[in-house]
Amino acid sequence: MTKELAILESNLSGSGFTGIKLCKEAGYRVTFITRDVERYRRIPMGRAHIDAYVDEIVQCETNYVDSVWETMRAKFEAGTFRAFLTLSEYDIVVTSEIATRLGLPSLDPDAARKARNKHLTRVAAAAAGVPIPRFVALKSGDEIAEALEHVGLPCIVKPADETSSTDVVKCISREQVLAHFDLIKSKIANVRGQDRYPAILIEQCIKGHEVSVETLTIGGRHHVYGVTDKMLAGKRHFVEVGHSFPSSLPADLVRECERIACASLDAVGFNVGAAHVELKIDETGPKLIEINGRPGGDRIPDLVKLVTGRDPVEDHVDLFIGRAVAPPQVEKDSGAAISFVTAPEGRIVDVAGMDEIAYCSAIREVVLEELADRVVEPLTKSSTRLGYVIATGGNGYEAWKRAETARQMLNITIER
């Protein structure tokens, strides 16, 4: 009998498309369920992976359990699927509920809801004693003055149900808070068309270093691949423009980040799969920012694999297709980093420097989007970046300097 699995949506970065490829290479007939397949086909890597590794595409409304269930009812009742998973942060709740109904390996639906929603994450973390920023979740702007007395200025205003820094803004005045609150409130759906969560977060602005902790949970026990240093830009926004792995922070601080990440996963009841837990570190120590119930994006799994030999995406897929996965017990005796290409606002008229990058040390990959005549938007979210450089080194810091040096050799000419 042919082994079959279904994938409900994917992210738009390398980890999602790699996951699709891994499912096919594991010997499965792959059904890809999506509300908009053209979203993936517009990306060269997405088109290539959909065409090469997907056997059947089913288009339906994927934001609701009942819609997916009714569309797939015949196959569900036939019992042909051996796995039902997602490679998208936005779809872990629907996926967990359907996989649980089918009796297939799944993240607990309650854990999925808490991890997916930043407000519910905060509530669960606070109850478990996990350090978090001061926060208030508001449905009405009438309570902003009182919220600011608790949170203070500057503060962060953001939706509870987005990813990739979408609509996350630092506000330094009450007027900015009100304006951004109203902007988020005016959007009835998130970027994937899901009904907007009614409460908006206003939280303490943590002034310090940002990291992510890459984890794998097997049978309810959390294991750590390592900690990733994150570089941010975007003025009042928080766009990730680089990552290096493993972290160059002192060993005791790295261990504390790992401890808090695992405590955060316990707090929401996270029971299986890879997770990408983001923390900010100030003078009092690390604080939880968010839990992403899937492998990290932005090619972070590639950095982990270059350093440790273990691929979080492959481990994640193997858990959900029922393969045995050994806990990651890895030595991090080298480093890898990614530096993202950005440019000032305006129309791109010329790109030079690619030939020079070829002479840089330990460059593993250089990717640029189609940039001819592209209009560069303000750096407010990840999708405004233009490409990336990946490099390796003796440690995370050395790898970062190599990737950054190569990126700076690109000369992008802008016409304003």
Where is the domain boundary, 204, 221, 245? 204
Distance, CA of 91 to CA of 9 (rounded, Å): 7
**How distant is the alpha carbon of residue 134 from its chain centre?**
23
pLDDT digits (tens, 9 = 90+) for 127-185: 999 999 999 999 999 999 999 999 999 999 999 999 888 899 999 999 999 999 999 99
Say if 294 falls within a structural domain: yes
Say if 125 falls within a structural domain: no
Judge if 263 and 340 occupy the same domain: yes
Residue 235 pLDDT class (50, 70, 90 cuts)? confident
302 has pLDDT over 90 = yes
Structure tokens at 55: 């056997």
Count the domains in the chain.
3
Amino acid in position 416: R
Q: What is the mean pLDDT of residues 248-264?
A: 98
Judge if 253 and 324 occupy the same domain: yes
Per-residue confidence (pLDDT) for residue 416, from 0 to 100? 84
pLDDT digits (tens, 9 = 90+) for 377-400: 999 888 889 999 999 999 999 999
Per-residue confidence (pLDDT) for residue 12, from 0 to 100? 87
Q: What angle do CA 283, 285, 287 make, to 5 degrees?
A: 120
Interacting residues of 205 by C-beta distance below 8 A, sequence separation 6+:
133, 154, 155, 156, 170
54 has pLDDT over 70 = yes
Give CA separation, 93 vs 35, 98, 116, 252, in Å.
Answer: 16, 9, 7, 35
CATH number at residue 326: 3.30.470.20
Determine whether 252 is exposed, middle or buried from the number of CB atoms within 10 Å of its CB (0-12, 13-18, 19+).
Answer: exposed
* Cis before 105 (ω within 30): no
Nearest to 205 by CA among 151, 284, 260, 273: 151
As a whole number, the mean pLDDT across the chain is 95
List the beta bridge partners of residue 136.
202
CATH number at residue 159: 3.30.1490.20
Residue 1 pLDDT class (50, 70, 90 cuts)? low
Amino acid in position 228: T
Give backbone dihedrals phi and psi of 313, rounded to 5 degrees, phi first: -65, -45
Judge if 155 and 19 occupy the same domain: no
Nearest to 268 by CA among 55, 110, 43: 110
H helix or E strand, kind and range, residue 251: helix 251-268
Per-residue confidence (pLDDT) for residue 6, from 0 to 100? 98
Mark 318-327 as b/e (b = at least 16 C-beta within 10 Å).
Answer: bbbbeeebee
Q: What is the mean pLDDT of residues 43-72?
A: 95
Distance, CA of 114 to CA of 91 (rounded, Å): 13
Q: What angle do CA 194, 195, 197 make, to 5 degrees?
A: 115
Say if 123 falls within a structural domain: no
Say if 124 falls within a structural domain: no
* String of DSSP letters for 4-22: EEEEEEE-SSHHHHHHHHH
Nearest to 131 by CA among 234, 322, 259: 259
Domain coverage including residue 50: 4-106
